[in-house]
Chains A and B, each alone.
Chain A
Amino acid sequence: MSCVAPHRLAEFARGGLTGRGHARIAAHVDDCGRCRDAVARLRDAQRAFAAIAEREAPELRWDRIRAQTYWTTGSLTALPVARPSRARAVAAWAVGPLVLAGAAAAWFAVAGSAGEATLTDRSVRTAMAPLDAAADPTPEPVTEAAPLVGVVTLVEGRGEIVTAGGATLVGGSAVGAHRVGAGDRLIGDGRLAVQFGPNSTFTVGPRSAVVVARLDDRAIELVVEPAARVDVEVAARAPGQRFVVHAGARAVEVRGTAFRVERGADGVAVACEHGRVAVSSADATVELGAGQKLAVGDREPLLGRAVEPMELTELSELAAARPAGLPLWTDPETIFRTTAALPLLAPTGHAVAIDGVPTGTGSLWRRLPPGRHLIETTDPRGQALPGRWVEIGGEPSETPVVLAAEPELTATGTAAARRARLRELSRAIDAVALRGCVRSLSKQGLAEGTHVELEVGVSTAGAIRYLNVIDTDLPDRVTACVRDVVGRARLTAGAQVAWRHTITF
């Protein structure tokens, strides 16, 4: 009898065969050493099945996962958007064709009389429609536009607002308490974010200034000053409401999208993360889709200017810079009443994450829902420092939360203490297990001369508080094994020290 197929041997090993089938394979296995070995291996594996099925979940950062989940799904809990009634919908159906016919007539009249450059690109022509609406001679409705209020949600560094009334507000607390409206000039030291609706936020970039030219239910218009940047995320606007960013001679108009407008010394750069935006000037309009960018000099014509695809790194950077809004939005007054301010003091360059969401760097002021929040920082090298929980209430707080300037464990110990700890660690490491990590490499003669450089931090209680792999020329799996073996070493109480150590094989 030839050798049995492994899946049949597995059935046999499990005891799933009976009668003649079982007897035939049993007889073969008795005679065949290869199949006997295979059965032994399969039995071992089948025993492992039960252990795998019973594996428990490792302990995870449950609060962090929950916070991130809520941030991601936050828009679910926003108040429902009022939908037009059936009667209004019917009216829209009736009025729609009339408006379209009027618009078409106006288009042909303008195109015929002016004789300007003809745009053959359909998408470009489509994008012009809302912009041309601004030049529509139809008189505005007599009703007044209702002003909107912007809520400051993030101030990185020392933000500043020069209000329409001429007052100058400086610093997170003063800026954060201000109700942003038309005529305000916003100056970002780091970033300064303003939310004006659900999923609708704009962020003034670092060392940038933006004037809120208009903020009402008909239009939101921002004017980007020279050498300034603004990142915008805006949900679909109410019918008829425009959102325009003016940057010199160019205007960038959107309906629902996330994008960046950067005004340099002699030109404008626009990058669209998602949705569509239309960049216009007196001569033409160019439309950008998701992942596209456009750079045009102030003196260059926009007509015929080609958009370019963004690099992956640019897109990632744009996504990371997405404006920091609140997961919940009702109306500004409720937001002011029910949210709380959290001023944080952190050293320059230290990244800060709130509830697992990267929020900014250095000292910042953030508006948040009241409750417990997890604040995490990194050192300038990007290594995480221990996080801490902060409880904030509904009242504004003037007392900033001070975040650690350096890791809790630094090389605070004396050289003698570090040498003593190193000797102790060397003795405590399981040398057999360590050699086992590189056993397979040793068999191939590849282990000799390899190394793992570790950064080790030990507390006074003798616990290894952190263990970072700084450099290695070993495969990931072996490195993880080495780190694991070192991490299992048990030390006694003594000096709190941190040091770098290289293990060479």
Chain B
Amino acid sequence: MLSLVAKQPSDPARAGDRPLSGLDERELVRRCKANERSAHDELYHRFRRVVAANLYRVLGDRGELEDLVQEVFVIAFRGLAQFRHEAQLGTWLYRICLNVAFGKMRARARRPAAIAVADLEAALERSDGDRPESPARALERREDQARVYAALEKLAPKKRLVLYLHEIEGRDLKDIAYLVDSNAVTVRTRLFYAKREFYKLLAEAAPPEVP
């Protein structure tokens, strides 16, 4: 069984309030397939932050994030009947996230949108408590992230996805092939061209226009 561990824990704070929080994944899926509302609730609570974080990281901003999270869960609930436990539930959901993100990227490619600098700032503000740093350093970090997302934004969606998964998430070709529903050879070729394009953009990138 393919297992790609989710990078973020689910919502532990409220786990105690939920009657099915202790349910194992197989049983949870079985109950969801039987249309048990409480099981749907539990699946949603267990994975909502992971799904949102995945979409947030891949796309780089929170524009329409709520709609996209909803889209992922609608697809998941409708498609659970086809889920055969060939991968972990989190991995299967991640695959849906990538598909939804891919659709969003294609839509953006047709109508380019600016990167939401405010979102990067919000992320930095949250990390301030963990690791105090100077305003200058925070600004640099924000600029670096903005530059990375600006370069990603210029790649074709398919290239962007494999590059993100390989270079930023550090996944291997086999995992990526599963996640983007392709084969490892295609992924390797796509990654080669994506890296050439991406690093050329980064190497030549002028300082980003962020305040």
A residues near B (Cβ < 8 Å) are 5-7, 9-10, 38, 41-42, 44-45, 47-49, 51-58, 60-62, 64-66, 68-70, 72-73, 76-77, 433-434, 436-437, 439-440, 475-477, 480-481, 483-485
Contacts and interface: CB of A to CB of B under 8 A. Distances in A.
Contacts of A485: 211
Nearest to B205: A41
Given A60-B69, A481-B211, A53 B57 contact: yes
A309 B127 CA distance: 53
Given A60-B65, A485-B211, A480 B116 contact: yes
A55 B54 CA distance: 9
Nearest to A40: B203
A49 B168 contact: yes
B69 A65 contact: yes
A70 B66 CA distance: 14
A57 B52 contact: yes
A439 B211 contact: yes
Contact of A69 (B70, B195, B196): B70
Interface stretch (B72-80, B98-106, B154-162): B72-80
Interface of B: 7-8, 35, 37, 40-41, 44, 48-50, 52-53, 56-57, 60, 62, 65-66, 69-70, 73-74, 77-78, 113-119, 121-123, 126-127, 140-141, 144-145, 147-149, 151, 167-170, 195-196, 198-200, 202-205, 209-211
A122 to B, nearest CB: 34
A51 B50 CA distance: 16
A433 B211 contact: yes
B159 to A, nearest CB: 13
22 contacts: A5-B196, A6-B200, A7-B196, A10-B195, A41-B147, A41-B203, A48-B148, A53-B57, A54-B7, A56-B123, A60-B52, A60-B62, A60-B65, A61-B66, A62-B48, A65-B66, A68-B70, A69-B74, A436-B210, A440-B209, A476-B113, A481-B211
Contacts of B169: 53
B66 A60 contact: yes
Contacts of B123: 55-56, 58
B199 A7 contact: yes
Contacts of B119: 58
Contacts of A53: 7, 57, 168-170
B70 A72 contact: yes
Given A52-B57, A475-B114, A480-B118, A45 B202 contact: yes
Nearest 9 CB-CB pairs, A to B?
A: A436-B211, A57-B52, A477-B114, A48-B144, A57-B53, A38-B203, A6-B203, A6-B199, A440-B209
B196 A56 contact: no
A314 B204 CA distance: 48
A52 B44 CA distance: 24
Nearest to B164: A52
A54 to B, nearest CB: 8
B44 A66 contact: yes
Contacts of B74: 69, 72-73
A58 B122 contact: yes
Given A58-B56, A58-B62, A73-B78, 9 more contacts: A6-B202, A7-B199, A9-B203, A48-B141, A48-B147, A58-B119, A60-B66, A69-B74, A481-B117
A456 to B, nearest CB: 17
Given A45-B202, A49-B148, A56-B53, A65 B70 contact: yes
A58 B65 contact: yes
Given A6-B200, A45-B147, A55 B56 contact: yes
B88 to A, nearest CB: 19
Contacts of B170: 53
Contacts of B41: 66
B209 A439 contact: yes
Contacts of A483: 118
Given A44-B140, A49-B168, A480-B118, A10 B199 contact: yes
Nearest to B74: A72
A6 B201 CA distance: 9
B132 to A, nearest CB: 15
Contacts of B195: 7, 10
Contacts of A5: 196, 200
Contacts of A51: 127, 141, 144-145
